[in-house]
Amino acid sequence: MNRRKFLQIGAITTPLFAVKKSFAKNFDQTTKPIVISTWDSGMSVNAEAWKILSTKGTSLDAVEAGAVHIENEINCCVGLGGFPDRDGIVTLDSCIMDHQANCGAVAGLERIKHPVSVARKVMEKTPHVILVGAGAQQFALENGFVLESSELSNEAKHAYSKWLKKNEYTPVTNIENKKQNGPFAPNFFEDGTVNHDTMGLIAMDARENISGAVTTSGMAFKLHGRVGDSPIIGAGLFVDNEVGAATSSGTGEEVIRICGTHLVVEFMRQGYSPEMACKKAVERIIKRDMEKAKRLQVGFIAMNKKGQYGAYAIQKGFLFSVKSNNENQIHPSKYLL
Ligand code: ASP
């Protein structure tokens, strides 16, 4: 079953109003194993991670498998099917972090299908945390990854040619509200605005170990060489196995400025629930520049050590997906503006 089909079926079987009700019911429940992920596309990602979590596998293997799954999708803003930068080149960012604070990341990686697996190799086989650009690609090739074609996916080609006509660099990311036709609307709109679809996921396994991973092609039509929050530990992803973990999607620069996911985890350490911790991080972004925040979207999702989860975004429209023994659902995130 392809992703679109799976999502369509998901849309039929899990209407959002039903989701809201059970969200309240499950919110404080201790649940493990559990996996949560950004966006509605997280449903199929969670399903892949669940195959490992439900058979007593590790959270690290689960988050890698989930990320690999979406990197395989051709018509998705993640992986090689994602949108290119303003020079027409797809550059990928990814990171992974385990329950012992081991972590690895790649940024600006070209023509390699599974950046998350390269990130894991950086973590396991090098003394470093981040490899970028040509060096990351060289490392990938030395470790058995294959150089893929540089051709854009059909959706990306279409979006890029539209964007070239305007040739403006306005990274508008607060457009989920355009998704009037349900949560599975396209990532590109004919007026040239582009959605963001970074996949961030966090899993807690049966041994209560938490890991996380993020994978993305980053902000569409970015400057060549731009790196967002997604591969930055403490910005796009942070795991502290004593407390919990968080991941983000949205305008990466705003997340980096506040060390967003590290901040969320520190708020949870202070005793805030995952939802409140995410809210406080969003407030921090808004407080810095309210006018700017009105034009942007950032969403955080978080999970604590009890398996409680929550999310918060600047704007309406951010979604996240949850899979545990109790549920398999998409949730609308709360939002501030
Ligand atoms: N956070 C990503 C970035 O700034 C964008 C996204 O979420 O789509 O690269």
> Which atom of ligand 1 is nearest the CA belonging to 236?
1
Confidence label for 248 from pLDDT (cuts 50, 70 and 90):
very high
Please state the domain count of the chain: 1
Candidates 90, 93, 216, 300: which one to mutate for ligand 1, based on the most atoms within 8 Å of Cβ? 216
Q: pLDDT tens digit string along 24-59?
A: 344 444 579 999 999 999 999 999 999 999 999 999
pLDDT band at 163 (very low <50, low <70, confident <90, very high): confident
Ligand 1 mutation target, pool 94, 169, 198, most atoms within 8 A of CB:
198
Whether residue 147 lies inside any domain: the answer is yes
Q: Give residue 78 CA to ligand 1 midpoint distance, Å.
A: 10
Distance 228 CA to ligand 1 centre (A): 6
Please return the burial class of 47, using the count of CB atoms within 10 Å of its CB with bins 0-12, 13-18 and 19+: middle
User: Nearest residue CA, atom 9 of ligand 1?
Assistant: 218
- Domain-embedded: residue 109: yes
CA–CA separation, 282 and 255 (whole Å): 9
Residue 201 within a domain: yes
Burial class of residue 89 (count of CB atoms within 10 Å of its CB; 0-12, 13-18, 19+): middle
155: nearest Cα among 110, 200, 90: 90
| 77 in a structural domain | yes
Residue 28: inside a domain, yes or no? no
Answer whether residue 10 is part of any domain.
no
Higher pLDDT, 73 or 22: 73
For position 68, which CATH number holds?
3.60.20.30
pLDDT in tens, 63-102: 999 999 999 987 667 899 999 999 999 999 999 999 999 9
198 is catalytic: yes
Write down the pTM of the prediction: 0.87
Average confidence (pLDDT) over 275-280: 98
Query: Which of 106, 249, 300 has most ligand 1 atoms within 8 Å of its beta carbon, as the pocket-test mutant?
Result: 249
Task: Enumerate residues lining ligand 1, CB below 6 A.
Answer: 196-198, 216, 218-219, 228-230, 249-252
Question: Which of 58-72, 166-180, 240-254, 323-337 has the weakest average pLDDT?
Answer: 166-180
- Three-class secondary structure assignment of the chain: CCHHHHHHHHHHHCCHHHHHHHHHHHCCCCCCCEEEEECCCHHHHHHHHHHHHCCCCCHHHHHHHHHHHHHCCCCCCCHHHCCCCCCCCCCEEEEEECCCCCEEEEEEECCCCCHHHHHHHHHHHCCCCEEEHHHHHHHHHHCCCCCCCCCCCHHHHHHHHHHHHHCCCCCCCCCHHHCCCCCCCCCECCCCCECCCCEEEEEECCCCCEEEEEEECCCCCCCCCCCCCCCCECCCEEEECCCEEEEEEECHHHHHHCCHHHHHHHHHHCCCCHHHHHHHHHHHHHHHCHHHHHCCCEEEEEEECCCCEEEEECCCCCEEEEEECCCEEEEECEECC
Cβ neighbours around 181 below 10 Å, total: 8
> Which ligand 1 atom is the nearest neighbour of the CA of 249?
7
- The alpha carbon of 16 and the centre of ligand 1 are apart by a number of angstroms equal to 25
Predicted confidence (pLDDT) per residue in 167-185, tens digit: 666 555 444 444 433 333 3
* Residue 14 domain-assigned (yes or no): no
Q: How far is CA 111 from the centre of its chain?
A: 20
* Nearest-CA residue for atom 4 of ligand 1: 252
Distance 85 CA to ligand 1 centre (A): 12
Residue 30 Cα to ligand 1 midpoint, Å, equals: 30
The predicted structure's pLDDT at residue 27: 43
Which atom of ligand 1 sits closest to the CA of residue 250?
Answer: 7
Could you list the residue range(s) of the whole structural domain that residue 200 is in?
33-335
The pLDDT of residue 169 is 61
Question: Choosing from 198, 215, 216, 247, which is the catalytic residue?
Answer: 198
- Kindly give the number of the ligand 1 atom that is closest to the alpha carbon of 196: 8
Higher pLDDT, 306 or 195: 306
Query: What mean pLDDT is reported for the chain?
Result: 86
* Residue 113 domain-assigned (yes or no): yes
| Whether 311 contacts 302, CB under 8 Å | yes
